[in-house]
Amino acid sequence: MAAVKLLNCFVSPFGNRVRIALAKKGVEYEETAENMVTKGPLLLSSNPVHAKVPVLLVDGKAVCESLVILEFIDEAFAGTGAQLLPADAYARANARFWAAYVDAKMPECAGKIWKVPKGAPAVEEGKKEMVGVFKTLEGELGEKPYFGGEALGYADVALVTFTPWFLTYERLAGFSIAEECPKLTAWAARCVGENECVAKSLPDAEAVYQFVGGMRKHFGLE
């Protein structure tokens, strides 16, 4: 077996995608906790371009960028568990489209909620944008249980790691995601309830809120 190591921060929606993919494949690995302020030497040497988590190291070889890592895991550990990406080329393109949509939209609208001073006008804007993004995602989900169809897939993994942050977004921006987007909320509960690889990979929402509060104090935002 290859020696697999993950550089991650326990709240990272990007890093936790890799946790889920490795758990789904049953790949054993060791996780090294990075904090988001001081960068460890292994993080800097293995991801010199971005100096960001996650980094996956397999026998010392580094793979960076969470969606790239998910594809790598699907390909490098193809024989060890259900694939995240389907076999059909159109279905693969659709999964990649929605994962890219999550990456293009979520960090931006979430950042307007938690990376700005309390009560800044951006918060209201971020909330509206986020609800719009979730409604678009609900439209794609339709009556399917998962974005991947009958089972958790690539786009599900890309999105579900933001759900432990929902409580933080709600408290900081004063809204209820369950009220605004009941279908997405039911999907999130399904992901955790029906998939052990998700349940064991996500942080506690209250712990995320406390962590974000600490970050916000550190950066003088509250």
Q: Which residues bind a copy of itself (CB under 8 A)?
A: 49, 61, 63-65, 67-69, 71-72, 75-76, 89-90, 92-93, 96-97, 100-101, 136
Choose between 115 and 190: whose C-beta lies nearer to a copy of itself: 115
Least CB distance to a copy of itself at residue 161 (A): 18
Choose between 131 and 221: whose C-beta lies nearer to a copy of itself: 131
If one counts every other C-beta atom within 10 angstroms of the C-beta of residue 79, the result is 6
Choose between 97 and 219: whose C-beta lies nearer to a copy of itself: 97
Q: Which residues contact 89 (CB under 8 A, 6 or more apart)?
A: none
Least CB distance to a copy of itself at residue 71 (A): 7
Choose between 61 and 118: whose C-beta lies nearer to a copy of itself: 61
Least CB distance to a copy of itself at residue 172 (A): 26
Q: How far apart are CA 94 and CA 196, in angstroms?
A: 25
Least CB distance to a copy of itself at residue 93 (A): 4
Least CB distance to a copy of itself at residue 123 (A): 24
- Alpha-carbon torsion angle 7, 9, 12, 17, nearest 10: 40
188: left (phi > 0), else alpha (psi -120 to 50), else beta?
alpha
Phi, psi of 64 (to 5 degrees): -120, 160
Least CB distance to a copy of itself at residue 89 (A): 4
Can you read off the two tokens belonging to residue 57? Answer: 């190291």
**Inter-residue contact 191 to 198 (CB < 8 Å):** yes
Choose between 34 and 71: whose C-beta lies nearer to a copy of itself: 71
**Inter-residue contact 114 to 216 (CB < 8 Å):** yes
Choose between 35 and 136: whose C-beta lies nearer to a copy of itself: 136
3-state secondary structure of 162: coil
Least CB distance to a copy of itself at residue 106 (A): 14
**Inter-residue contact 109 to 120 (CB < 8 Å):** no
In angstroms, the first-to-last Cα distance of the chain is 47
Q: What is the distance of C-alpha 158 from the center of its chain? A: 5
Choose between 74 and 170: whose C-beta lies nearer to a copy of itself: 74
